């Protein structure tokens, strides 16, 4: 009996969500249902549920870097993404480890930076030093930067309330160094559609989608970024992978479900075969 071929692999460098809705849990289930083997570098462990983030502990920076280096050296990485990075010290270590593993916009392994700076409940996930390190060290290394509108404000100071301002924000963010910027429109609740904007420094590509009438959107941003990362791991171009990510997260939001007292998760169950 011959061995099965190895699937593409994608690495998530992210925090753990005890509620299972976002963070590395969302990334891994998205990777799985996109046909990609998930690798993990855990950055922090949070104590959270639908009511909020109640506590957390950060993983030592050398352990975060060691996880990246270990899987890259042995198993290989076809694409990588970040989520919650917790501190400036961890960001410094991640940047160095990614350089060593040839992960980055100018390296062989594409790098998606999802600049998770606050929880969906509004809790800041790192301090000003962390925000500076994110802006100065990771954005110039990003193949694709995938901020939501709250993260746009933290990175640029711009408050975005229209689709035109999303385009303007993409231009400003692109000047900070990423190869592509994907501005996510989920928080633009006044817009009847959900149109994300991808910008490469010269061309805008709009990614339209339906805006579903659901409050259950926990993990949507992580899910889109990880589906995009899975697409890159499978050899898609950035534009193809962005469309793939939009397609995946649109179905995930459409099939979101309640769980707990407040905001439930988007769903990856729509990708599973029906039971017989």
The 10s digit of each residue's pLDDT in 104-116 is: 999 999 999 999 8
- Stretch (H or E) spanning 65: helix 61-74
pLDDT above 90 as % of the chain:
88
Q: Provide the CATH number for the domain around residue 112.
A: 3.40.1190.20
Total number of domains in the chain: 1
Q: How far apart are CA 222 and CA 144, in angstroms?
A: 14
Say if 123 falls within a structural domain: yes
Which structure tokens are listed for 7? 């699937």
Q: How far apart are CA 233 and CA 81, in angstroms?
A: 11
pLDDT-derived band at 148 (thresholds 50, 70, 90) equals very high
* Domain membership of residue 172 as a residue range: 9-263
Which residues have a Cβ under 8 Å from the Cβ of 164 and sit 6 or more positions away?
none
Say if 269 falls within a structural domain: no
With beta carbons less than 8 A apart as the criterion, state whether 156 and 183 touch: no
Say if 135 falls within a structural domain: yes
Say if 185 falls within a structural domain: yes
Say if 275 falls within a structural domain: no
Q: Taking Cα atoms as reference points, which of 267, 154, 271, 155 lies closest to residue 216? A: 267
Q: How far apart are CA 183 and CA 198, in angstroms?
A: 6
pLDDT-derived band at 126 (thresholds 50, 70, 90) equals confident
Per DSSP, the three-state class of 30 is: helix
Say if 243 falls within a structural domain: yes
Point out which residues pair with 44 in neighbouring strands: 58
Say if 214 falls within a structural domain: yes
With beta carbons less than 8 A apart as the criterion, state whether 199 and 178 touch: no
**Verdict on whether the full-model pTM lies above 0.75:** yes
Say if 3 falls within a structural domain: no
Mean pLDDT over the full length of the chain: 94
pLDDT tens digits for 241-255?
999 999 999 999 999
Q: Taking Cα atoms as reference points, which of 83, 66, 82, 63 lies closest to residue 74? A: 66
In terms of phi and psi (left: phi > 0; alpha: psi -120 to 50; beta: otherwise), the region of 235 is left
Question: Minimum mean pLDDT among 58-62, 188-192, 195-199: which range?
Answer: 188-192
Q: What would the mean pLDDT of 116-125 be, rounded to a whole number?
A: 68
> Distances in Å between the alpha carbon of 65 and those of 13, 70, 83, 109, 271?
9, 9, 14, 16, 32
């Amino acid at each position: 009996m011959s061995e099965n071929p190895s699937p593409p692999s994608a690495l998530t460098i992210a925090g753990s969500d005890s509620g299972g809705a976002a963070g590395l849990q969302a990334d891994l289930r998205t990777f799985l249902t996109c046909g990609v083997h998930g690798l993990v570098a855990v950055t922090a462990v949070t104590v959270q549920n639908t009511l909020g983030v109640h506590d957390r502990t950060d993983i030592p920076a050398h352990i975060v870097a060691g996880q990246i280096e270990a899987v890259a050296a042995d198993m290989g990485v076809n694409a990588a993404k970040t989520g919650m990075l917790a501190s400036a010290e961890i960001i410094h270590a991640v940047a160095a480890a990614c350089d060593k593993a040839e992960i980055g916009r100018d390296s062989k392994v594409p790098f998606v930076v999802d600049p998770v700076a606050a929880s969906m409940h509004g809790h800041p996930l790192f301090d000003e030093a962390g925000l500076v390190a994110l802006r100065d060290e990771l954005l110039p290394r990003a193949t694709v930067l995938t901020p939501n509108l709250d993260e746009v404000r933290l990175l640029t100071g711009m408050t975005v309330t229209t689709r035109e301002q999303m385009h303007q924000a993409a231009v400003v963010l692109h000047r900070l160094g990423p190869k592509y910027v994907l501005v996510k429109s989920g928080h633009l609740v006044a817009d009847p559609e959900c149109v994300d904007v991808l910008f490469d420094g010269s061309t805008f590509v709009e990614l339209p989608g339906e805006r579903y009438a659901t409050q259950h959107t926990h993990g949507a941003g992580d899910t889109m970024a990880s589906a995009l990362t899975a697409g890159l791991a499978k050899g898609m171009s950035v534009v193809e992978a962005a469309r793939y990510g939009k397609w995946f997260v649109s179905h995930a939001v459409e099939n979101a479900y309640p769980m707990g007292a407040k905001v439930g998760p988007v769903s990856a169950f729509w990708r599973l075969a029906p039971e017989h």
